[in-house]
Amino acid sequence: MAVQAQLYPENLGLSLPICGLQDCMSTPAPFDADFCYPPQQMMIPSHLDQNAQNFASSSSSMCDGFLSMALSQSLVAQSENERLKSVLREQRRRQLATLINVMESKALHLMRRKEEDLARATKKTLELEACLKKVEMESESWERLAKANEAMALDLSNAVERVKEGLIMVSNAAEDAESLCRGSCDDQQEVKEESSKKIACPCKHCNSRSSCVLFLPCRHLCSCMSCEAFLDSCPVCKAVKEASMKVFWV
């Protein structure tokens, strides 16, 4: 029994753990009778020695099987690990491509909106500039018209002043004539006043009636109502008549 108890693997110096790859890869120790048996038991039968050798051989075969199984499992695990890495890389690549596509779509949408806003703002600016130019042109036109009307009013005022001065001169001449001819009748006095008026501001076309029509744009008071209808130009400066205005004597 003592001999059989000493034939277990731990007594034979064999290391056979099966839970680790590194331990299985270690080569089992050869059978050492001197190490396993004390000196008093060195003398053993030959069949026990043969059994020990068979057991060591079977242990070596078992270790080789375990090593092969461990290597196979390691290769399978390594292959599975590589497959998982490849799957993760592909999944990450797809997620990144999806994210890039979404970001590109959003960026294109924002760019289109900005371009539309810019086009609307540019169109609105052009419309405002055109409206501003139109208002400026109308303002300049009204300003020119106002200046022309102001100049016309000034010329008319000057013409009226000249007519008033002429009337005053005629009135003074009439008074002088009346003082010289107190014995004349009223008809003779009216004839003298009429002749005085004709001399003061006669029509430049017929020289027989008073001038009461103002020619435009030259602003000359140079025609009577009868002659104005037949005149196409001013009899004073020969400017083309564009319009005429009747002046009422005060």
CA distances from 201 to 117, 118, 170, 240, 248 (A): 72, 71, 10, 22, 13
**pLDDT value, residue 171:** 67
Is residue 165 a contact partner of residue 229, using CB atoms and an 8 Å limit?
A: no
Residue spans per domain, the chain: 2-87, 201-250
| Sheet-wide strand order for 243-246 | 220-223, 213-216, 243-246
Segment 122-165, tens digit of pLDDT: 999 999 999 999 999 998 989 899 888 888 888 888 888 888 88
**pLDDT value, residue 69:** 82
C-alpha to C-alpha distance for 95 and 91, rounded to whole angstroms: 6
Name the stretches of the chain with pLDDT < 50: 1-44, 196-199
**pLDDT value, residue 212:** 85
**pLDDT value, residue 10:** 44
Provide the mean pLDDT of the chain: 73
C-alpha to C-alpha distance for 104 and 110, rounded to whole angstroms: 10
**pLDDT value, residue 210:** 82
pTM above 0.85, yes or no: no
Class of the CATH-defined domain 201-250: alpha beta
The position carrying tokens 């120790």 is 29
